[in-house]
Structure 1
Amino acid sequence: MQPRKDNAGFSIIELMISLAVLVIIAGMATANWQGTIERHQARQTKQELRTLFQVARHTAINRRQMTTFCPLDAANACTNDWDQPISVFIDPGSLKVLAQPDYLIRTFKAMPNGTLIASHSGPQERRYFQFNPDGTVHGTIGNLTWCPDSLMAERGVHVIVNFGGRIRWGKDRSGDGVVEKASGQPISCA
């Protein structure tokens, strides 16, 4: 009888199969991890938007002054680039311009890992939101949608502002996993 030889390693085929399994598992874990991160970012964005609207509305009521919030350009005028930091400021002349530095109430950083999209006011994207001294919306009502960098609408956030200056969140009433706008249409992140 010959002594039995112990194989001390993997064959090339066993090694390739093991690597293929690891790549598949790593790919599934990465996809799940990305979804977890984006759902967390959506919750964080919701809280930031809630705070933004509350600060603007409460400032208008408490100071009895027109209050505007918007992203500001280099000249401190409202712009429609909602990926910039958003400022809340007293706007007594409703000029949509931060006229004096001491009118600035608070600046919110740009929303992380995604894009804010404002509703349209006429042919252009909304540049600002304003609140009257009684807390109601000045001008037209509107909404903001946050879409994650992956552009997956299922992970988006939608806030709707009514004439009373109150906000509500878009809900998935159709059961397709995407929240709807006030019109009932699903949000779009594409």
Structure 2
Amino acid sequence: MHSQKRTGFSLIELLVLTALIGLLAGLAMPSLTSALQNQERRSTLHDLLGLFALARQHAVMEGVIVTVCPVNSMGACSRDWNNEIYAFSDPDNQRQLTAGKAPIRVVSTGGSGRIVVRSLHRSYFQFRPSGFVHSDLGNITWCPNTGSARMAGQIIISRGGRARLANDHDGDGIPEDAQGRPLKCS
């Protein structure tokens, strides 16, 4: 009598395997979410750093005021920094992208985070032909939709026009602003 070899899995083996795969996927999900938020934060902040550097360079090279702001449908600076951000030549200091003029650069900031801008009640940043800030100093903070300050990031703009990323100097996992205070996303 020949015995037949059994191939394949029994129903119980398949159920145990499915449960293990589900458990492992559940454990990996928070780590994956955190990695994706970290990547979005880094990408958004580096895109904005590049925008500010290019705007400052253009102001110096072309000898004109350059404005950086979100633009509404009429071409004027708006307050909603969670859409496209424009850098454009603004020789008459109108804070408006005039018809027929191409922007220097446009950056999209959509995604699973929000941007908060602080520039003494202004909704824009400007650079003089010297490269210095024409308007007030300020900062741009990216916060994840979860509100976690540990995942936040900030660009600090100095009077000299230099844009830099906020760092975590005290090692608590939360970057500090220009005054040394931990970032907040509330």
Same fold (TM over 0.5): yes
2:32 counterpart of 1:33: yes
Partner secondary structure for residue 161 of structure 2: coil
Partner secondary structure for residue 101 of structure 1: coil
Q: Judging changes above 3 Å, is the alpha-carbon distance between structure 1 residues 168 and 154 closer, same or farther for their aligned structure 2 residues?
A: same
Partner of 1:60: 59
User: How far apart in 2 are the matches of 1:21 and 1:115?
Assistant: 36
Partner of 1:148: 144
User: How far apart in 1 are the matches of 2:177 and 2:73?
Assistant: 32
User: How far apart in 2 are the matches of 1:162 and 1:9?
Assistant: 67
Q: Judging changes above 3 Å, is the alpha-carbon distance between structure 1 residues 140 and 51 closer, same or farther for their aligned structure 2 residues?
A: same
Q: 1:132 Cα deviation (Å)?
A: 0.2
Partner of 1:119: 118
Match runs of 1:46-125 below 5 Å: 46-102=45-101, 104-122=103-121
CA-based RMSD of the aligned residues comes to 2.4
Partner of 1:164: 160
Partner secondary structure for residue 151 of structure 1: coil
Q: Structure 2: which amino acid aligns with 1:25?
A: L
Residue from 162, 177, 183 that aligns with 2:173: 177
User: How far apart in 2 are the matches of 1:153 and 1:72?
Assistant: 28
CA displacement 1:3-52 (0-9 Å, x = unmatched): xxxxx9576xxx5x776655443222000111111122222123201111
Partner secondary structure for residue 109 of structure 2: coil
Q: Structure 2: which amino acid aligns with 1:177?
A: G
Q: 1:167 Cα deviation (Å)?
A: 1.4
Q: Judging changes above 3 Å, is the alpha-carbon distance between structure 1 residues 10 and 145 closer, same or farther for their aligned structure 2 residues?
A: same
TM-score (norm 1): 0.83
Partner of 1:4: none
Q: Structure 1: which amino acid aligns with 2:70?
A: P
Q: 1:120 Cα deviation (Å)?
A: 4.5
Partner secondary structure for residue 121 of structure 1: coil
2:123 counterpart of 1:132: no
Q: Judging changes above 3 Å, is the alpha-carbon distance between structure 1 residues 86 and 39 closer, same or farther for their aligned structure 2 residues?
A: same
Q: 1:166 Cα deviation (Å)?
A: 0.4
The count of corresponding residues between Structure 1 and Structure 2 is 179
Percent identity, aligned pairs only, is 33
Q: Structure 2: which amino acid aligns with 1:30?
A: M
TM-score (norm 2): 0.85
List structure 1 segments (4+ residues) > 4 angstroms apart after TM superposition. Answer: 8-11, 17-23
